[in-house]
Each structure stands twice: as structure tokens, then as C-alpha cells.
Structure 1
């Protein structure tokens, strides 16, 4: 095998050879791992002839397309495009036709050879030349198209031209120096007197109203992406089926039109149903199987009734539903088909967990047998489209309530880094994904063994060839009905840690993505939806991405426990970047109580997460030292009462310490402060333990108190006032 060719290909495909690890030390990627990643991208690295043929095919594809598939420019930048043609055509006159998103047409006459020659290639004895050409038109922000038109109006090529703003959107109050606080919660964790065993969109509305009354300006959510109705135990919000659509489990069934009809009420009031409903409400953990069964048991007949009454004629409801389905396009059709197909296979006793085990004739969305399935099961597919429609309506109602309560942000949503292996998104666009790889993270503080998340990555080259449309759709969908979007593992815009199928997370390697293009699209969608963007930049983060994110108006994510100086001391929140959201802990970390009492280390040891006793001992020593440094910092800033002992051996996680830490953060310089409801309730169990799946009941633990009672607690009312006062003082101090 020609190793120099392999090395060049590794470089061209953006596979990194060296990186700085989480401890600041240089690390190298194993050459064998790099070869495996090339394989995952579809290159037959063990077959020299096959590899040469694939590279030749790619070379032809690039040169035979006169224009690139897509180009992203920032507003005000010079507009220069590349044009490729056979040498005999480069002296001809053409028209470069710019068709703006609004439909305006501008023609520019060009002769390619009058531009700057930058490249030459020979294809089957024909010389091709590539020129750079200046485009004189200055389109505004948006998604435009540039067409190469020959004489006789013969259209030779089309390129998507994206004009993006310089940075993401920031609300006026924050741009003017205002500092706000809010609460974060995993929506499914909410307990209430009326929900069906899982937090829902009506709970969200109540939480928003109560939070606003308490002085908060946002409620941060977990990803609320579509999961698997037929496979409820696949419950991780970070391993979705589709990131463009919503998890129907968050529907408040009782709020859907027609729920009060007699036929539905008869089913709902039935004794066994009510008993089961009370059981899932009382459970300490979300019983996804039972909750899904109960919701579908009412949603199915409710839809049949609604469909019969409203969705067959020229009704207001039918017009709205049809508009929703039309706007959802193939993506919605694909998800609804997938949900119906998975459900049908399950009912037939066949393997159903995901498309890898579907019958071959049904293993991709665009196959003939899938079309036949759609005809046969059209009504059930319509049902799943109906659920998405109702979920979108209920989420939008919550968003509107936040606006009415004058919350600066209101809902902030969370975008997961990928979709799971058996997802509908991959089923619908398999060529986009490297299905023989998964994304994760190299070894770091949170995961000493590295992490493999089981999420096949998008291939950056295929994403480019699809003119970035999947990313455009993704950002747009997740900026609906919210005021901010948190991007989980935001480093994915620059690079992702790929792990070849069968390898451990430590054997992975970084693959780079077109970060400037992706950030441009993110900024454009951010302005269109008026959504602030927060980037979760924890773990192994190169400085280049931190600076780039800041320049693009993306708010950094600052976690108190990670903001440590080299001497072990903790930075004052007053020194955090203004352009950031600060927090004490996250959903991947222990609660304040769990951290202070080392419950996470006990649990990790019990679950076998640490490779050796030496590592366990070092983690306990480090935690002890960190807690002492935290006490020193809190006392040094006067953030906790003097009567709290200054030696960690004498201090447990009391309410006074808990409250002091939260108010300490509120006095900081970050524009946004997010606090977890778990810490308000002094809970000790984590909602997720990274690096586990079946070992711990991740994504199931509920809050310990019903939503209706939380904000009546005098200590929490006092805390809310102190937080608001501290944020106001921090605003004035900056001003």
C-alpha cells in the first residue's frame, strides 16, 4: 500500500494526528486508528486498486462540477467563487445568475479566463482549468443560489450561496450589560399532581410562570428530541431518533382538543387505567414503558376521533395540520413512517430496535417496500404526524407564556451532538453518516477511560456535498419556540472524536469539520429566530475553538468546579467571561450534595468506572483538596456565614453552604447564570452517570418534590430574592 497516499488522504479528510489532551499534554493518534477512520469514511485502505479507483472517482466528481455545491460568506465580505471548466470553454461568455432567497434575479456576464487561474487538472486527456471570479452583486443575509448559465439559457451548474451575519444574536438586555439567572431541569424529571408520570409541556408552562414570578428569566431543558415510541427504554435524550422533531412523551394528553369527549373519558376514568396512572405518578423514577403505554392508549383513540371530526374536511384544524405536514416535508414523513414501521415490526414479533435489524427491503427510507408500507399504514403514519403537530403546538404555548411574562430568554433548548445508531435520521439519509464509527471523547477528567456515545457521525464531506442542508434544517428546527439554544459538545463544529466500530474510546481520533461555514449558518439561523446560542465547551477544548466561538457571539459554558487555577484555587465568578453562562453543576455531574459528600466517587467505584485503586485514591485526595479550596474561596469572598467552619473536615453540605455557593455565582460577571432545580431541593442522586448504560438508571430519576410545592418553600423564595439582587448588583457593577 502506498503510505504517502494514505498520509495525504488522512490530511485531506481532516483526520488529526496530534492533539493536546485534557491534562494539557501532547497526545498522538495511533496510525492504525487513522486507517480505521478512513475505512469508516468509505475508503478501502487495504485494497490499493480499490482505493485508487475511489480517489479517481472523487477527483472526477470535483472537476466535472463547474461550481462548488455550497459557499458560506459573511455579510460585507468580498464575494469570490471558484469556477471549473474544460479549457476549450474557458474563453466563452457566460452569465452568473444570482437568485436571492426573496426571488430577485441579478445577472453578471463573465468570461472565466479573465479571472485568476488557480488550478489545472487533466481528465481523460482533457485539460480542465479552475478560475476565481469576483461576484459584483451584494446579496443580503439568507440562502441564495448562484447559477452558471450558458448561451441559450442552458443552466450548467447551481451553487447554494449562504450570506451569514458576523455573529450570533444576543437579546438587547444582555447586549446592554444585563445579567440574568434561570433554572435548568430535565423536563421528564418534573413531578406534578396532574402529569402522567413524566414532566410534560403543561408542567413546563407552570414552571416558567413560577420561575418568572421568582425573578428568573429562563428555564433550561434537556434535549427534547424525538426518541422511540415503540422502544421506550431507549430513553437517553442524548441518543435520539431525530433531532429535528419532538419527543411525544412530553405531550399533555389532557390538553388536546377532544380529551373531554365521553368516549375518551370512559377509557381514561376506567379503574385499572387510573390505578396505573397513579402508580407512574408516585414512582421515584420515570417508568418509560408504562408511561408510553398509558399515553398511547388514550392518544390513539383520541386521534381517531379528532381525525374523523376535523381532518377530513375544510376545517380550521385540517388546514393547520396540512400546513404543518407540508412544512415538515420529507423529514416529518420519514420520522412518522419510521415510528409506524418500528411499531408494526414489534407487533409482528420481529426485531425492531432500529433499522440495522429491519428486513433488508425496509432498511432504508427510499426503498420501494417502504413506499408500499406507507400506503398500507397511511392512517398510523398520519397519527405520528399528528403527535408531532400537537407537541409543537404545546411547546409554542409554553414559549408564548414566557414572552407574556417578560422573560429575557424564556425556554432554552439543548441540541444533542448526534443521533443513535438505529435512528430514523440515519435511516432516512444513510449516505450522510459514517455508520461504522461512533462519536465520543478521549480520556478526560469526567471519563478517565474515554467515552463512546454510540452516535454515528455525519461525514463532513457528504455534508458539504449536500450543501449543508441537514445542518440548516437542524439548527432551524431547534430554534423553534425558544429564546436560547445550548449546543451540547459545541467542539463538534470544529472536530469530533471518532471511534471505529469495535474499538475502545481510547483508540479513536479527531476528525475536523468546516467550522467557519457551520458557525456562519448557526449565526444566520440565530438571527432569524432571535435565539441566543450557548456552546457547551467542556472537556478537551483547543483554544482555537474558544476564541472562534467568542468571536461568533456564542456564549461559553463555565462550570464552577472546573474553573480552577494552577495552584488549585478556584477563580472568582467575577473573573468569568461576560460572554458566558455559568453554572455550579451539570446533568453529567453530581449534585452539590453528591459532590460534597463524594457520593459520585462511591457510585463510580461501585460501578467499576475507575481502572485502579490508585486512581480512586487520587480522585478522593483531589476532591478533598478541591473542597478545601472552595471553602477558602467562599470565605474569602464573604459568600458564606462566618460560623461555617473553615476546615473541610468539619463541613457538610448544609443549606447555608448550598445557598452561599449559588449566591456566590450570582455575583459573577457571566451574563447568564443557570442553577439546577436538584440543588434547590438538596437532592443527592445524579440523573446521569457518564460511561454507564445499564449499570445505572440514567435519565429516570425524578425530582423529590412536586412542582406545585417547590416555589412555596420560604427558603427558596429567599434564595430567589438573593439571586435577583446579586444579579442586579453585578449588572450595575459592570455598567
Structure 2
């Protein structure tokens, strides 16, 4: 009985028993792993009787609710609802009263028994029947409330989401234009005026210069909120909250009040200016010092604004209060968390995340947290103010893109999860399986598999919360941008869960309600006029790529992975039109690093290739691939005789580097993204997957400042060539 019940739960909760790995090999998930995953979801698999009672209780609760919590319907589909009722009530007449997002009411009467009977159960000798009923109604796109009523009394309600068939696409792209843009890690940018880390003013400068060269977008790393009290925790892919911004990108000099004498006295003090000069000159971002400098200056500016404007009935205060109101409990959560973490750190108490907070502070809803909030009201206001300033400066950068008529403008990046000690989990623990981590089975980017330290959302809890956390994520990350890149887009279909303490190879896939999530994605995409790019690398089941394409999500095609079985590289002219093409990514070596095998050298030093035979095979494979690349470049006349044809005698050169970029520009992909690191012929990667403290990930700056980059004649010529090539292939 228990074995069959476990098998039922494995299927019911979307745990995959078999999958095909990155090399096309069928792989089976062990029974032990499947039971561990069920345990992570809260099932008492080690107690047969308790498990039976638990499953029965869940089933009963589901049947006792006449309607499910949420339903996603595409605009072309008929509206059907499933209604569960005791048998003696199924032939009564009911009303479905729909209140649209615009406040209009639509009423449909129906008798459940006239619909299609789909299921029957008995609960304590009462027979319940489920009918699927079609409602003859036409609804606009949006989020609507459906109330099930009888004689004017409400029995149940559900959120009804009417979504378009596919994601938004700008008119320029619909007209056949193929465009290019630059992708950057914002923190890597150097400039004459920033404080040792790229900021939103740098971004606005980059947008303006790139647009004038013909670029149609600037792609960003995730700019999610991190941890002001833990500045060295700097991975943009392990944030504290994906709804809010990293304050470190604020240009302090552009905040109103910077010119005040008190602020000027602070920033012009010898100790301050000395530290500022040091963080500007280093080749790696010094997060700790920069955070200290920016917080110190911003605190002083906040005092200026708070005294003069934010404590009175002023235009500025009204705007700030509106921002706080719109931010709701989510903004309150991140601000309280930042203040609380800072307070614990200042006292020398464990503070890296809520798992080490004192028990009375380990949850946002605890009484002690409410007490802390009252006592530290001004500090919490400061952290909300930081979010306000960051949001305004991001919007200003986006306005520069609009002023330059960029067809896309900014494109943001949504991380696949938040870290274990994040504010996002602290504020909604029920949603997350905190004893698991998202990761990946072994693949080309991570031959040992990967565990990212990001607890996954429980798909059932997400459904019970009416998908609101996902709606909020899509909406907030599409704000002030023309495109959203979803990191590890397979998460919409399935995620690799690894139980805490286990090796990455001992995980398993858990499925998510992909059709519902894609519907919500399409709706928010249209509302925000933001196209969507899905990072579909690694172990990708064929069905997800087809489904993404049908839903208007752009595929992500990396040149080095577009390889035929015979070892040759596909011509970019054969890439899907609905795709973004790129040469490298933040998880890969630069062009120079790839060609010189510096990633393999570094991987050996870091212990990523403990088997010498595996490493030797990788060197041989790289040698063959480089020859195949030369063959395809010469075959398509993307390089001239300056670049040789024999890999044994061809090193990385500017001619080869630029030739590869132009080769990709001539392809079929509607979008082309190129990295500034490759424009600058840099050799060091920004991130090495599978490492943490072994390599200084997320710190390496660009080798030139922005002003130098855009005064470089060779780089300007490259950009203009890219624009010409893209226009030519658009014809």
C-alpha cells in the first residue's frame, strides 16, 4: 500500500522518474531520491500510517473546495470551470459572477449536472461529484474574480486569468528587422565618475552611445536586491529579493541633496576621497568598501531629504508615499529584513540570513519582528527610500533608450531563484522547500553537476497562492525594460531539486504547471510591452523548446553549442528566427579564454577536472572544435586571409575575434547579443560555474572605461559594421 501510494504521489506531485541527460543518455531517478523529494514537500514517507492519513486529508480538503484557487485560460479558448459539490447539490442552479479587472460584472447561470462528469469520490459517506461546465462569456485579458453563488450567497471564489496566446513582440521585430545589442554585467563597468562599481548613470551613458551606433538593446545581469549588511555576498544569481533592486547601482552624485554642504563635507573628507580613489583603481569590485562608502553618503542625503521633504506635505513626500503604497508588503519585507540583518551584524550576532537569526526573528510575521519594525521605523524608511532612488534612476536610464528610439532598450535578467537566507523566503516560507536546492545534473557547463543554493518554490503551494508570487516577479522585472531574459527558462517546466547535503548528481526533476506559467508570462509581457528570451541551455527536453516557441519566447542560441554530430558548426543562417544568438555567456570563457583554453587551465587549478583523462579529452575536443570554427568562418567568408586556416598556427587575434562577431551577425536570429568583454579582447571569465570562494566570481571589471571604449575607432567601426550586417540580413 505504501509503495503504491508513494508511486501515486511521485506522479501526482510531478516528480520525474526518467530523463535524458545532456549527452542523450536515458537516466533513471532512484527510489531513494524520489522519496527524499516527497519528504522535502512535506510528506511523511517514513511513517506509512501517517502518510496515508496525510494524503487522505489533502484529498478531502481539495474536494471540499467547490473551486480551485486559480485558473489560467488563453484568449482563444472557451471558458470551462471545474465545480466539485455533494451529489445532492449538483442539479441546483448556480451563478458564476465574474468581476473583471475593470470592475464590470458578468453573470452566467448553469446547472453542474448539465456539464461533463469527470470524477466521483466519497468523503464520510457523502458522494462528491466534479463537473466541468462551459461558461458562455467573453472576457478581456487580465486578472478577474469569479464568484460561485447560489441565491446570492457565495460558496467559493477563484482567480480567473485570461492570457494572450503568446508573448509580446515589438512592431520593429514583427516587421522583419534583425537587431543587435550589447550585454554587460553592470557592476563591471568602469567610468570616469562612478564609485568603483558600474551604476545607473553609466548604464544611461552606455545606452546613449550604443544606440547612436545602431544597437537596439543593452542586456543586463540580474540587478536584484542583495544584502547591504553582507556586501561580499555578491552573486546576482543568488539574490535576497528578485522584486527589488540592488542599491549599489545608485549613482550617489545624482540623488537630490548630494550638493548639500553636509554631504559635500563628508564626500570631500580626505579619508573618504582616499577610499574612493582606491576602489576606482582596482581591477576587481571591492564590494565591502563601496557599500560602506555609498551607504554612508546616502544616509546623509536621506537625512537631508527626510528633514526638508519626507516629513512634510511635499510633492516629493507624496511621490515617495505612493511608491511605498504600491510596493506593499513586499517592499516592507525587504526593508525590514535589511534593517534587521544590519542590526544583528552591528551587534556581532550571526546574521548571514534568517536561518541563523534568533528564533523570535526568524519569520516576517513574528511579533518580535513587528516590535523591531516599530522601534526602527526610520531605518526601515531609509531602506525603502533606497529602493525608490534605485527605481527612479533605472527608469531614467530606460528613458534614454526611449529617447533614442531603441526598438527594445534595456533587457533585464530574471534569476532562477533566491538564496537560502533571503528576504524573499523569510517573508513567505510556506512557498519554498527550504531543505532543497535548485541545481543541474552534469552537463557541458558543469561536468560534476551543480547545486546553486537556491531553495525551489513548491509548485502546489504556488498554485494555492494563486500564482501571485510569479505574477509579481514577472511584472516587477519587466518594469522599465523592453525585454526580459529568464535565466534557466526550463524552470517553467521543471527544476532539478537536490536535497540539502546531497551531491548534485543525486537530485531529481520536479515539474511545474508550465502552461499556466507561460500564460501569465504572456499576459505580463503584453502589459509591460516586454519581449521574453528564455535561456534554454544545458539539459533541455525537446518539448520545452517547442512549447516556448509556440508561446513567443525567444530561444537562446550560443554559437559554441550549435554543433552538428559530425563536429561542424551550424551556420548562423540556420538558427531559429525567433532566437537570440550570442557567442559567449557570463558562465563561459571569453572568446580569447576559449581559444587559448584558459578555461581548461583554470578549471584544472580549481579542481573542476579531477580526472586527467577527462581533461585531456577536453583539450582534444577543443582543438577539433577550433579547427571546425576556422573551417566555417572561412567557408562563409567571415574572415579574410589575415586569419589562417590551420588551427595549429592560428592564435586569437582581433581579426579572428571581430570576424566571429560579424559571422554571427549575418545569421537568421532576430536578436544578436555581444559582450563588451569580447570587444575588449579580455581573457578572464566573470564567473566559473561550480565554484564559490575558489574564484573571485562576479567581481572582475572591464579593462577600459566607457569613455575610452566609445572613443576607440576600431570598436566604433565594429559596431557600425554590425549595424550594416544586421540591416542587410533584415532585407
TM-score range (shorter-chain normalised) is over 0.9
Name the residue aligned to 1:582: 581
Q: What secondary structure is seen at the aligned counterpart in 2 of 1:206?
A: helix
Q: What secondary structure is seen at the aligned counterpart in 1 of 2:608?
A: coil
Name the residue aligned to 1:273: 272
CA distance in 2, matches of 1:75, 1:297: 51
CA distance in 2, matches of 1:237, 1:460: 24
Q: CA deviation at 1:110?
A: 2.0
Contact 2:604 2:610 in 1 (8 A): no
Q: What secondary structure is seen at the aligned counterpart in 2 of 1:84?
A: strand
CA distance in 2, matches of 1:124, 1:266: 76
Q: 1:169-207 CA distances to partner (integer Å, 9 max, x unpaired)?
A: 000111111011110000000011110110000000000
Q: What secondary structure is seen at the aligned counterpart in 2 of 1:356?
A: helix
Q: What secondary structure is seen at the aligned counterpart in 1 of 2:243?
A: strand
Q: Does 1:615 align with 2:614?
A: yes
Q: Does 1:162 align with 2:158?
A: no
> How many correspondences in the alignment?
731
Query: What aligned pairs does 1:52-451 form with structure 2 within 5 A after superposition?
Result: 52-151=52-151, 153-451=152-450
Q: 1:355-408 CA distances to partner (integer Å, 9 max, x unpaired)?
A: 000111111111111111110111111000000001000000000100001111
Q: 1:269-319 CA distances to partner (integer Å, 9 max, x unpaired)?
A: 001000000100001000100000000011112112111111112111011
CA distance in 1, matches of 2:302, 2:50: 53
Q: CA deviation at 1:468?
A: 0.4
Q: CA deviation at 1:616?
A: 0.3
Q: CA deviation at 1:40?
A: 0.6
Single out whichever of 635-644 and 220-229 deviates more from structure 2: 635-644
Name the residue aligned to 2:479: 480
Query: What aligned pairs does 1:8-19 form with structure 2 within 5 A after superposition?
Result: 8-19=8-19
CA distance in 2, matches of 1:545, 1:117: 31
CA distance in 2, matches of 1:203, 1:352: 32
Q: 1:653-672 CA distances to partner (integer Å, 9 max, x unpaired)?
A: 10000010001111111001
Q: What secondary structure is seen at the aligned counterpart in 2 of 1:590?
A: coil
Q: 1:577-604 CA distances to partner (integer Å, 9 max, x unpaired)?
A: 1100000000000000000000000000
Q: CA deviation at 1:61?
A: 1.5
Name the residue aligned to 1:572: 571
Name the residue aligned to 1:23: 23
Q: CA deviation at 1:113?
A: 2.0
Q: What secondary structure is seen at the aligned counterpart in 2 of 1:156?
A: strand
Unpaired runs of 5+ residues, structure 2, are none
RMSD: 0.8
Q: CA deviation at 1:158?
A: 0.7
Q: CA deviation at 1:150?
A: 2.0
Q: What secondary structure is seen at the aligned counterpart in 1 of 2:434?
A: coil
Name the residue aligned to 1:597: 596
Q: Does 1:699 align with 2:698?
A: yes
Contact 2:642 2:655 in 1 (8 A): no
CA distance in 2, matches of 1:514, 1:591: 36
Contact 2:76 2:165 in 1 (8 A): no
Name the residue aligned to 1:516: 515
Q: What secondary structure is seen at the aligned counterpart in 2 of 1:158?
A: strand
Q: What secondary structure is seen at the aligned counterpart in 2 of 1:605?
A: helix
CA distance in 2, matches of 1:434, 1:441: 17
Q: CA deviation at 1:611?
A: 3.1
CA distance in 2, matches of 1:250, 1:61: 47
Q: What secondary structure is seen at the aligned counterpart in 1 of 2:496?
A: strand
Q: CA deviation at 1:93?
A: 2.1
CA distance in 2, matches of 1:4, 1:672: 49
CA distance in 1, matches of 2:37, 2:583: 36
Query: What aligned pairs does 1:516-555 form with structure 2 within 5 A after superposition?
Result: 516-555=515-554
Q: CA deviation at 1:106?
A: 1.0
CA distance in 2, matches of 1:53, 1:356: 30
Q: What secondary structure is seen at the aligned counterpart in 2 of 1:365?
A: coil
Q: What secondary structure is seen at the aligned counterpart in 2 of 1:138?
A: coil
CA distance in 2, matches of 1:162, 1:236: 34
Name the residue aligned to 1:665: 664
CA distance in 1, matches of 2:214, 2:328: 40
Q: 1:430-462 CA distances to partner (integer Å, 9 max, x unpaired)?
A: 000011100000000111110000000000000
Q: CA deviation at 1:57?
A: 1.8
CA distance in 2, matches of 1:70, 1:257: 44
CA distance in 2, matches of 1:48, 1:643: 72
Q: CA deviation at 1:165?
A: 0.3
CA distance in 2, matches of 1:73, 1:687: 41
Q: CA deviation at 1:114?
A: 2.3
